[in-house]
């Protein structure tokens, strides 16, 4: 069983050994919010600070050259991980949110005109809604939305009708952080390109969990974060096709993004440095590279297969609990996320009672308020899984929820 792989991997994650209170071990089921970090990543960042700490791209001394080499090696690892055609297409940012904002503030401001249409979906995270809302208000753009069907999938027939409006951009999540819905990204990108639109993929929940190949997808832009894929917080990636990035203006001004500066003008640096102003998150980039090494050593197909097994088991176990309603599609369209409500019990109460038993889940709207409004609920409780989640932890969740039901009578 795939569960044996998770049991063996857990030794690499020191936090999974802790107790949240004396005698209460941690059951971590909040990996959609952020994943835990293996010791290999923690150690790599510690080693950088102990042995190689220096600023990059500017110095010729030994430490600076070592730090620069490690930073750029991480970029190469990440480019390979998503099968980018060149490291010039891999831009370090702070997170998925900043990556999407970068596209909105640079490509969007330059390429879009009043009346132009952007297609989004009803299941988007706020990070792939608000930047476009800001831009739409500023430039007089029109936002249209692909509906979510009653079986928690995107309505591709309505998408086809929206594409007839000749949008300039289609931006959508490859996997919903609430429903777990895995959207048919390759097909949706093809349809967008056929209609003359560019595409931006929110890969925050996809890149960590199953193989993502940007050349196979033919994605124009892809955004994702290190902290959801065994890496550190504070660093993410914007992938963009090189010709698009070349024609986009810089995002931020300052050191390292310039080739030449005069008092009244400047010329920008080459890719990818054109979009990386100031001293970057060097240790975090190195940690990100090691996280990619770790995931590749496990195998992304293995990660995906394990999560399918865990999720299918969770759907079966939780369906036995009276009053529990799960929001999300059937298992063949679903990633490792189970969001639910318990009849008559607020999701925050559910999460707090589970925490007494050491079970960490998330409660709220999960930065997807419009999606919750669509289903006429203020919030859900969300359990989310990763490569280190075990079947026993799902059983503990089920028992914890049964206790919650008993407490509320």
Residues identified as active-site:
367
Distances 350 to 82, 338, 361 between C-alpha atoms, Å = 37, 14, 9
185, 222 Cβ separation under 8 angstroms:
no
Record the tokens describing residue 264, joined without a space: 């009244």
Using the CB atoms, write b or e for 288-319: b if 16+ within 10 Å. Answer: bbbbbbbbeebebeebbebbbbbbebbbebbe
Three-state secondary structure along the chain? CCHHHHHHHHHHCHHHHCEEECCEECEECECCCCCCCCHHHHHHHHHHHHHHCCCCCCCCCHHHHHHHHHHHHHHHHHHHHCCCCCHHHEEEECCHHHHHHHHHHHHHHHHCCCCCEEEEECCCCHHHCHHHHHHHHHHCCEEEEECECCCCCECHHHHHHHHCCCCCEEEEECECCCCCEECCHHHHHHHHHHCCCEEEEECCCCCCCCCCCHHHHCCCEEEEECCCCCCCCCCEEEEECHHHHHHCCCCCCCCCCEEEECCCCEEECCCCHHHCCCCCCHHHHHHHHHHHHHHHHHCHHHHHHHHHHHHHHHHHHHCCCCCEEEECCCHHHECCEEEEEECCECHHHHHHHHHHCCEECEEECCCCHHHHHHCCCCCEEEEECCCCCCHHHHHHHHHHHHHHHHHCC
């Amino acid at each position: 069983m795939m569960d044996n792989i998770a049991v063996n991997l857990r030794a690499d994650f020191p936090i999974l050994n802790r107790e949240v209170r004396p005698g209460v071990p941690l059951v971590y089921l909040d990996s959609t919010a952020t994943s835990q970090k293996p010791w290999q990543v923690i150690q790599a960042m510690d080693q950088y600070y102990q042995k190689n700490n220096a600023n990059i791209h500017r110095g010729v001394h030994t430490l600076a050259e070592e730090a620069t080499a490690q930073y750029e090696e991480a970029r190469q690892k990440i480019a390979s991980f998503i099968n980018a055609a060149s490291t010039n297409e891999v831009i370090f940012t702070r997170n998925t949110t900043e990556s999407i904002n970068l596209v909105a503030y640079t490509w969007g401001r330059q390429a879009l005109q009043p009346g132009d249409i952007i297609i989004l979906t009803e299941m988007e995270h706020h990070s792939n809604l608000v930047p476009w809302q800001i831009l739409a208000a500023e430039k007089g753009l029109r936002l249209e939305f692909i509906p979510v069907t009653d079986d928690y999938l995107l309505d591709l027939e309505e998408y086809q009708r929206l594409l007839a409006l000749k949008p300039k951009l289609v931006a959508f999540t490859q996997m919903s952080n609430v429903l777990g819905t895995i959207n048919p990204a390759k097909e949706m990108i093809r349809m967008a390109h056929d209609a003359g639109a560019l595409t931006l993929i929110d890969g925050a929940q996809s890149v960590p969990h199953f193989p993502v190949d940007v050349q196979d997808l033919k994605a124009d832009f892809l955004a994702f974060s290190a902290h959801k894929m065994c890496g550190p917080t504070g660093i993410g990636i914007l992938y963009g096709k090189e010709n698009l990035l070349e024609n986009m203006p810089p995002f931020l001004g300052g050191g390292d993004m310039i080739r030449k500066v005069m008092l009244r003008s400047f010329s920008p640096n080459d890719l990818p440095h054109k979009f990386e102003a100031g001293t970057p998150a060097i240790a975090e980039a190195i940690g990100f590279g090691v996280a990619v090494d770790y995931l590749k050593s496990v195998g992304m197909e293995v990660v995906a297969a394990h999560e399918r097994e865990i999720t299918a088991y969770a759907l079966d176990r939780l369906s036995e609990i009276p009053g529990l309603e799960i929001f999300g599609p059937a298992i063949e369209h679903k990633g490792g996320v189970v969001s639910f409500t318990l009849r008559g019990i607020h999701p925050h109460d559910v999460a707090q009672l589970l925490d007494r038993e050491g079970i960490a889940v998330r409660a709220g709207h999960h930065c997807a308020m419009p999606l919750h409004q669509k289903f006429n609920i203020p919030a859900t409780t969300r359990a989310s899984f990763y490569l280190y989640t075990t079947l026993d932890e799902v059983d503990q969740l089920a028992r914890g929820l049964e206790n919650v039901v008993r407490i509320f009578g």
